[in-house]
Structures are given as C-alpha cells and as structure tokens.
Structure 1
Amino acid sequence: MKTSLKASVALVALAAPAFAQDIVQADSEWFTNGAAAVEARAAATPNTGTARNVILFVADGMGVGTNYAVRLFAGQQAGGLGDDYVLPYEAFPNSALVKTYTINGQTPDSAPTAGAMNTGIKQRNEMINVTGDVMVDDCQGGLDAAPLTLLSEIATDMGKSVGIISTARLTHATPAAVYARTVNRNWEDDTAIPEGCGQVDIAAQMIEAMKAGTLDLALGGGGRYFVSADVTLDEGYTGVRADGRDMISEITEMGGQFAWNAETLEGLTPSLETGPILGFFENSHMEYEADRSDEPSIAEMTAFAIETLSQNEGGFYLEVEGGRVDHANHGGNLARAVADGVAFAEAVQMAIDMTDASETLIIVTADHEHAIAFNGYCGRGSDILGLCLDVNTQGVEGTEPLLAADGKPYTVAGYLNGAGSVITEQEDGTWSGARPDLTEEEATDLDYLQQALVPMGSETHSGEDVAIWANGPWAHLVNGTMEQNEIFHVINHAISAE
C-alpha cells in the first residue's frame, strides 16, 4: 500500500516531540521527571564488554505482584506513600517479563525454574538439572542420562570463582541448581534416597562440588543435612544423616573455613587461599528477616561473598537467593514476605555499591509468582498490609476504609488460596464461612494472615510471568518477554564476549 507525500509529512509531524513551551503542563514535576527519564534512556549506550563477574539475584516467589507489595512497603517504611518508591534494581536500565512455565507445569516449582537459569533448558517440576526425557523419581534414568553442563562449571572452566547464598536451606531447589542434579528435589540428604536408588543426595553433591573446586563459597541454612545424628553443631542441633559423615569437618580439614552465626562469619578471613568457605546459620531455613537475631542478614552475606570472590582476577559467578519471601507467601503472611523482600533489595544495593557496573552483570529476577491479589479502589497512603482506604477526593491520602457488599472492610492485598481462607471446615465436615470484621491494627500485625478464598494449608505458586531487571555488560539482552531459560544464555554470552 502506497502512502502519499502529504500523508507522510503529516505522520512525521505527529511523531515529532512538541516544544516544551507549547505544552501547558511543562512545568509540572510529573512532566519534567518523565521527560528526564526518557532522555536518560535515549542517551544510554549498551555495554558490550566482557562480564568479569555475574551476580544472579533470585527472590524466590517474588513475582510482579509480590514485588509491588515490597515496593509499597519499602516506600511506606521510609515515610512516603509507597507507590512512587523505587527499589534499587527497579532503577536498572533493562527489564523484561519472564515466562516461568516448565516442561510439564503451567505452574512451576522452584526446582526446574532455577535449573532453567543454570542450564539454559526448560525442565520438569520437582527435578533439578535433569534432561526432560527423564521422569520424577526415575533413579536409573537419572543415572543413565548425560549430565547437563551447569553455569557454575562453565564459570569454573573460565577461571572464575563460584558462590551461593540463600536464606533457605542450601540444599533447597534454587541454590541446589547451581551445583546439583537430581530426579527429586526433596532428596536433600541420604535418608531421603530410596533403597537401591544410586542417586547421590543433594548435600553430598554440594560438598563434592566444593572439593572439586566448582563451588567455592556457600552461605545459608540447612546444616542438619551435612552431619550425622551423633554430631551436635555449635548452634545446638544435631544432624540427620545416616552415613556417619561430618561434611563440615571434611571441608575444614582441607583448609576451608566455617561460620555458624553472624559473629563467626564476621571473624572469617574473606579469602579462598586455604580452601572453600561454608556457613550454616540454621539447621533448616534461616530466620525470617522480621525475626532475625544472631544470624547475618542477606546483605551481610552478600557483602562477605563479594569481598571474598572478587579477589579472583578471573572474576566470579554468585547466585543470591532471598528464599523466605516464598515461604511467607506460602503461609499467607504478607508482613513477613515484604520484610524479607526489603532485606533482599538491600542485598542488591550492597552488590551495586561493591561492584563496578562496567565489568559486573547484575540480574535480579524471581523464579515464580504466588497467588497474591490486590483489591481496589484504594486511595494513596493505604498501608499495603492494612485496610483499603477510600480515595479522598480533596487530596491524595486515603480516609475511611472501603466496605464490601457484606458491610465489612477488606485489606489492600489478599491471596486466592491459603491458610487465611474465610471458608472453614465445620465440626460436621461441611464447609462454610463469612469474612470476619477487621481493624487496621489486626490487619497490620506481623502474624496476620491475609484473607484468602480457597482453603489450603499452604498457599500455592501461580504461573504468571515474573519481572527481570539487569545492569552491566550485555544487560540490554534482557528485554521484551523472555523464556526463563534464556537467562542462562544472557549470562553465558556476557561472560564469553570478547
């Protein structure tokens, strides 16, 4: 179809930006801020240098919705309304949406999603770093399949150091994807392996990776899976292994260092010269940020890891997981989820401050989202943990709580399913329920469970997209709508570029 010259000129005129003096609202702060943001993007030049370092931040279960809640919470904690707050990684110049489905799951779990980011291929639910033609619990199939090449192995072959940090157990799905291959993500220690299976448990795989030099630093929870039941660790708990191994001693005896609380981590030498570094700060998952006592924060662990790994002139690959955002969402407890989300954001800021963006690729994403949802029409200033307040037509802050058709107020956020369901089982086995009346004080309590619809003991993941943000070499490859396994390929391209 041909376009006339007159029509072409008209189109160009429409496309050209208007001069600021011609626009009535040009003096508005909203206007000037928007124009400045676009100008900054227009002036940006892609970094096509080689990524000496890569830090992959994964906030487990912190999809777009949960991130929105974290943003508001952080902004409101800082004394603002929350909506306009910018989390550290939200200022990155490159972002995209990521599809999280797996080979067999419209809704994923953390095992195949983390595996996709560490191998470059989609995988099956409940499995970590195993090819898609092997089924869950297929011990022989897992042994016969060619072992997938891991990003940590590629980085090691390039002379880089490798580290993992997690507020969950280090044998949990997301950190395990850095070093392990298993047909069942729950086989975290030897007592979980079926008799005659031949599969090596996840904890043992982690220690073997440290001995082999493909994993140099590991900080998180899950100490019970690394020692036998007759070993009592400094924190006072015993192990669960049946094979009699004390894997912590195996590491320290080869010259490695070990920490079990914030004080002992601070006392370690940030160096890999004598051996790998291992830290277990809980027998299972680490404490929620809102309950943290003598454990290091995720930001403190990140700082120590970067200080240690950056001594390698060849660079490093570090995966940092904020694992307990996911667990709080599963519990329907938004207060703890957003507190851990803010702690995660502080870890990202720590990494930004401690690295050079010209040589360090930082990627921030999530493995999946949860069944979180948001009510309307809340006025600005409504506490993200509290009641949905009406819009004040004379200003910006909310006033009185909005009421539903049942005459009762409702919270800004809720879950589609979970332990906070308003539908409960009666003594006669039937299910019924009505929403309880609710005050702001009750809704904002740390232990409050958001109201949910479908009754479940544990709230579920959802299959919707998550966001990804990137800064540093080749960060501009993060754009559009991506498959989750493409994250691996962005990293691999960035560290391989010449």
Structure 2
Amino acid sequence: MKAFLLLLALLPATAVAADATKNPQFTAGQKALQAALDRPQPKRKARNIILFIGDGMGINSVTAGRIFAGQARGLDGASYKLSFETLPYGGFSKTYSADKLVTDSANGISAIMTGVKTINAAIGVDDSVKSKDCQSALGARIDTLAEQAKRSGRAAGVVTTAGITDATPAGAYGHVPFRNWRADVDLPADAAKAGCVDLARQLVEAPDDVRMDVAFGGDLQDFVPTGTGPGKRADGRDLTKTWVSRPGARYVTDAAGLSALDTKGGPVLGIFADGDLPSPVDTELHRNVPTLSDMTAKAIDILAAKKSGYFLLVESASIDKWHHANNAYRALTDVDELSKAVRIAMDRTDPNDTLIIVTADHSHGLVISAGSSREEPITGLVRNHGVNLTDGNNQPRLTLSYATGPGGPKAGAVVPIPDEATATSPDFHQPALVYMASAQHAGEDVPVYSRGPDSDLLTGTFESSYIYQVMAHAFSLTGPKVAKPVAKHRRRHVHGR
C-alpha cells in the first residue's frame, strides 16, 4: 500500500483548466461580440458623406500609429484604439492604378472620387489619358463625387494639411493629365495653348454649380503672383481676390481667422501656409496654424447649414509626406491627428444620416520588427524590458524601418547605429533597406473603416474605385458625366478640360 501511494505521489498532477471567463481579454471579446450582434442594420440613404483619407496610411501605419498614440497618452499602445478603429465596418481596398502595380495619390483619389482608375499622376480623368498630354485629357474628364453632390443640390468641401492644389484635395475638383500642373507656371506652353487650366484656377474659377463651398489647406504660392510674398503665378493674378469677388465669399489665413469665422454665409477659402501645413510637432512653425481637427470641425459646421446635405473630403496628408522622409515620429503623429479629426466628425454627426469612411489612397514601406516588450517606445530600439536586443552583427536594431528612402545606405556609406535617445527623437529618420531620395509607396491593400448609411457595403476586399460606387449609392446619384471634346475656340474657357 505504501508503495502504491508513493507511486501516485510521483505521477504528474492533473492539469486544472484556467477559468477564461475571468480573463479581461476574454470578457472584452464577449462584449465586442454582443455589440456586433446588437448592431442595427445601417440605413440605405445618406444625407451627408465625410471621406477621410490618411495619405500613405497602410495597415502598418495604422498599427504603429495606434501604438504611438497610446504610448503618448501613457497607455498600453498595443491594445489602444484609434477613433476610426471603433467604426463598425471594415474592409480592404486594392489601390493599383491603370498603368502601375503601385499607385500614386493622384490615381489613388481619382479612383475613389470618380469610380474609374486612371494612370499615375492623372486626376479626374479616365484611363484613356496620356501623361502630361492636354489634348488627350480634353475628352477624358469625369465629374467627381463632390461635383455630382453639388449638382444634386448639396454642399461640398475639402480639407487638407497639404496644399489645396496637391493631388488628394485636387481629387475633389480637379481634372488634369498631370498632378503637378498646380499653378500657371507649371503648365507647358502647349498645354496652356490647348486650353488646359492649372489646379488653382480650377478651384477658384469653377462654375457655380460645382465650386467647393469650403476649401481649407495650404499652397498660397499657387494662388498669388510673383512679387507677392511666396507667389509664383506668372499671369499676375491674385486668385484669393478672385475668390472673394463673388457675393458672400470669404477668405481666411490663420487659426484665429478660422476660429472667428461665422458658419453662415458664402463659400470660404482658407489658406494657412505658403506650401504644406507644418507638423504639429513643430510648435513654433505651427503657431496660429489650425489643426486638422480645427479645420474639420469648422468645415462640418459650415456645410451642415445646407439642409439638403453635404460631401466633405478630409486628408491627413503629412502621414505620406513624413513617410517619404523616413521620419516615422512625425508620420505617426499625423495618424493620431487623423484619429482626432475623425472623432470630431463622429461626435458632430448622426450615424443614421451621415456616412463616414476612413481609408488611404496607398500604403508606404513601413516595417514593424519583432523583439520589443510592450512598454518600449514604438519609435525606439528593440529592447526587452530596457535591455537592447541586437542584430546578426551584434549591433542594436530598431523596431521601425523602411523598405526605401533617404535612410538607406548610399554607395560606400554606412548607416550609423543610433542610441535610444536619438531613435526616439522627433527628428530621427529611420533606416531603409534601399537608398532613395524619397521613399517609394507600397502596393499592399489598405484598410477601409466606415459607419452610417450603406457602410455595411464596405466589407471584404474590393477595388478602390468601388468606394465611389458605395458613396454614389448612398447619395442616390446616377453617375458622373464624362466630358466630350469641346470646340477649339472655346477650350481656353472650359473649367478643367
């Protein structure tokens, strides 16, 4: 008997299962499931649509941006949620263009705004267009969703942290075979002779039935003549004066002017920088410059005065611009800025009548590498509870890096290995695998988040141009008008053709 009891004592103890129902992750999952089961079917028609574009915000930018934003608030970054990650519906958009595996922002926004993919660098025209060829664009123009919304009796606006003539904001109102035709000096002589018009003029001189009611961003240089501050226009025109020459039209130039702006009245142009708006990280440069949230809130308040509804395009442009520089700190700051602006829109609108969509035009080659414990800064060295983890050469390594860009090794050069203080600095540029003066876009599908009427149609994996179809359906639009070539003697007077 003693021998038997001794044998039992030597046998392994029977495992006792943990009670998963007491685990906070498990209970949070139960609550999320119940919320999804209780979710009412979205309505089928929208009074308003707000489209948010995180330029260059691929899924890695969302993940890194989430961690960065959470850590900035003293929270666990991995489990933190950006505002748009709480939206009930999600899917993935395929962003390639008519001619390239990897899109640029011009085709990226054109596909979303017209339902037709075009070639890289073209805006608001179909895929029959030839790059930089004005003549080919004359019959390729397609009305954008913003223009269709205006013709249906709604208001329309665009907000960006880039210049208003940059590719994404121009996707609301512009029609060009080459995105860099932003001021008259950018047009080749033959394009101007054929009747093509620069994007700044297209915005300001648009016919009443399609002109934007709100346009906020930068790029003063494209609107004023040489000899006037940063102006570069050679035609001697000050387009800000052209804007305010219409009855009720207004023009503001700084955060104070925007804040004081009455939300009733005519169309509003706000230009807050000579070029792109500075990063909020750079507080001195950003002094008296409105934030993306400031501009979004004011735009919604102005457009909401239109009882028949509105369309608003909002771009957090600098995600892309700082990724191009391999500056993850500022890029991820702008992911957080987008999240704040989306929260403003969520709080100011009713999901029963307003479709909110948050997506990207393309991705970037940002990589998040393994090793760091969860409390370590996402922008820093790979560390396990404060202890550096090394690479195959026994050197410190970074959690974030890029596929291409200025952080890559130039011929014969060695990329220096930073310390933790340098790596987490706002001015640090992450390393890249391949040197290029400006990082290249990446081609993976990008996330799409939505709530409101027809938002359940944005699930699964779909073409970027399908987003247009959902928005047009939510607005009960019949589709865009495709321009026909116009008589030669009229071409100089045709908006955007």
TM-score using structure 1 length: 0.89
Partner of 1:55: 50
Contact kept? 1:152, 1:214, Cα under 8 Å: no
* Aligned partner (choices 215, 220, 226) of residue 217 of structure 2: 220
Find out whether 1:440 has 2:420 as its counterpart.
yes
How does 1:253-332 map onto structure 2 within 5 Å? 253-254=245-246, 255-271=248-264, 273=265, 275-291=266-282, 292-332=286-326
Contact kept? 2:151, 2:209, Cα under 8 Å: no
CA, structure 1 residues 261+406, in 2 after alignment: closer, same or farther (shift >3 Å)? same
* Letter of the structure 2 residue corresponding to residue 183 of structure 1: P
Contact kept? 1:361, 1:470, Cα under 8 Å: yes
Q: Partners of 2:207 and 2:295 in 1: how far apart?
A: 18
Q: Partners of 1:208 and 1:248 in 2: how far apart?
A: 11
How does 1:312-391 map onto structure 2 within 5 Å? 312-390=306-384
Contact kept? 2:151, 2:210, Cα under 8 Å: no
Q: Partners of 2:243 and 2:151 in 1: how far apart?
A: 22
Contact kept? 1:382, 1:412, Cα under 8 Å: no
Q: Partners of 1:23 and 1:48 in 2: how far apart?
A: 43
Q: Residues 358-398 of structure 1: CA distance to partner in whole angstroms, max 9, x if unpaired?
A: 111000001111111111122211211111112xxxxxxx3
Partner of 1:185: 179
How far apart are residue 238 of structure 1 and its match?
3.1
Find out whether 1:465 has 2:445 as its counterpart.
yes
How far apart are residue 49 of structure 1 and its match?
3.7
Q: Partners of 1:214 and 1:258 in 2: how far apart?
A: 15
Contact kept? 1:257, 1:268, Cα under 8 Å: no
Find out whether 1:113 has 2:100 as its counterpart.
no
Q: Partners of 2:209 and 2:91 in 1: how far apart?
A: 36
* Letter of the structure 2 residue corresponding to residue 262 of structure 1: A
How far apart are residue 210 of structure 1 and its match?
6.7
Contact kept? 1:408, 1:438, Cα under 8 Å: no
Unaligned residue ranges in structure 2 (runs of 5+): 1-16, 479-497
Contact kept? 1:330, 1:458, Cα under 8 Å: yes
- What is the number of equivalent residue pairs in this alignment? 455
Q: Partners of 2:332 and 2:96 in 1: how far apart?
A: 24
Partner of 1:414: 401
How far apart are residue 437 of structure 1 and its match?
3.2
Partner of 1:399: 386
* Letter of the structure 2 residue corresponding to residue 418 of structure 1: G
Contact kept? 2:147, 2:210, Cα under 8 Å: no
Task: State the identity %.
Answer: 36
Partner of 1:155: 149
Q: Partners of 2:298 and 2:413 in 1: how far apart?
A: 51
* Aligned partner (choices 113, 117, 128) of residue 133 of structure 1: 128
Q: Partners of 1:147 and 1:407 in 2: how far apart?
A: 57
Q: Residues 334-354 of structure 1: CA distance to partner in whole angstroms, max 9, x if unpaired?
A: 011011111111000011111
Q: Partners of 1:282 and 1:202 in 2: how far apart?
A: 17
Q: Partners of 1:136 and 1:294 in 2: how far apart?
A: 38
Partner of 2:238: 246
Q: Partners of 2:376 and 2:333 in 1: how far apart?
A: 17
Q: Partners of 1:451 and 1:81 in 2: how far apart?
A: 25
Partner of 2:197: 200
SS in 2 for 1:196: helix
How far apart are residue 216 of structure 1 and its match?
0.7
Find out whether 1:424 has 2:398 as its counterpart.
no
SS in 1 for 2:190: coil
Moved more, 90-99 or 211-220: 211-220
Contact kept? 1:332, 1:449, Cα under 8 Å: yes
Partner of 2:10: none
* Letter of the structure 2 residue corresponding to residue 286 of structure 1: L
Q: Partners of 1:26 and 1:343 in 2: how far apart?
A: 36
Partner of 1:476: 456
Contact kept? 2:92, 2:445, Cα under 8 Å: yes
Q: Partners of 1:238 and 1:27 in 2: how far apart?
A: 63
Partner of 1:229: 226
How far apart are residue 146 of structure 1 and its match?
4.3
Q: Partners of 1:242 and 1:376 in 2: how far apart?
A: 53
Q: Partners of 2:338 and 2:38 in 1: how far apart?
A: 30
Detail structure 1 runs of 4+ shifted over 2 Å in the superposition: 209-214, 435-438
Contact kept? 1:256, 1:277, Cα under 8 Å: yes
Q: Partners of 1:238 and 1:217 in 2: how far apart?
A: 23
Contact kept? 2:150, 2:209, Cα under 8 Å: no
* Aligned partner (choices 65, 69, 75) of residue 80 of structure 1: 75
Contact kept? 2:404, 2:433, Cα under 8 Å: yes
Contact kept? 2:328, 2:429, Cα under 8 Å: yes
How far apart are residue 473 of structure 1 and its match?
0.6
Q: Partners of 1:350 and 1:147 in 2: how far apart?
A: 34
How far apart are residue 91 of structure 1 and its match?
0.5
Partner of 2:483: none
CA, structure 1 residues 476+456, in 2 after alignment: closer, same or farther (shift >3 Å)? same
Q: Partners of 2:145 and 2:372 in 1: how far apart?
A: 44
Q: Partners of 2:433 and 2:370 in 1: how far apart?
A: 17
Root-mean-square deviation (CA), in Å?
Answer: 1.6
Find out whether 1:173 has 2:160 as its counterpart.
no
Contact kept? 1:46, 1:474, Cα under 8 Å: no
* Letter of the structure 1 residue corresponding to residue 61 of structure 2: T
Q: Partners of 1:107 and 1:289 in 2: how far apart?
A: 29
Contact kept? 1:49, 1:358, Cα under 8 Å: no
Q: Partners of 2:273 and 2:73 in 1: how far apart?
A: 30
Contact kept? 1:130, 1:181, Cα under 8 Å: yes
Q: Partners of 1:48 and 1:302 in 2: how far apart?
A: 24
* Letter of the structure 2 residue corresponding to residue 469 of structure 1: Y
Contact kept? 1:370, 1:460, Cα under 8 Å: yes
Find out whether 1:45 has 2:31 as its counterpart.
no
Q: Partners of 1:460 and 1:263 in 2: how far apart?
A: 37
Q: Residues 66-93 of structure 1: CA distance to partner in whole angstroms, max 9, x if unpaired?
A: 1111100110011112000011110011
Contact kept? 1:128, 1:185, Cα under 8 Å: yes
Contact kept? 2:381, 2:420, Cα under 8 Å: yes
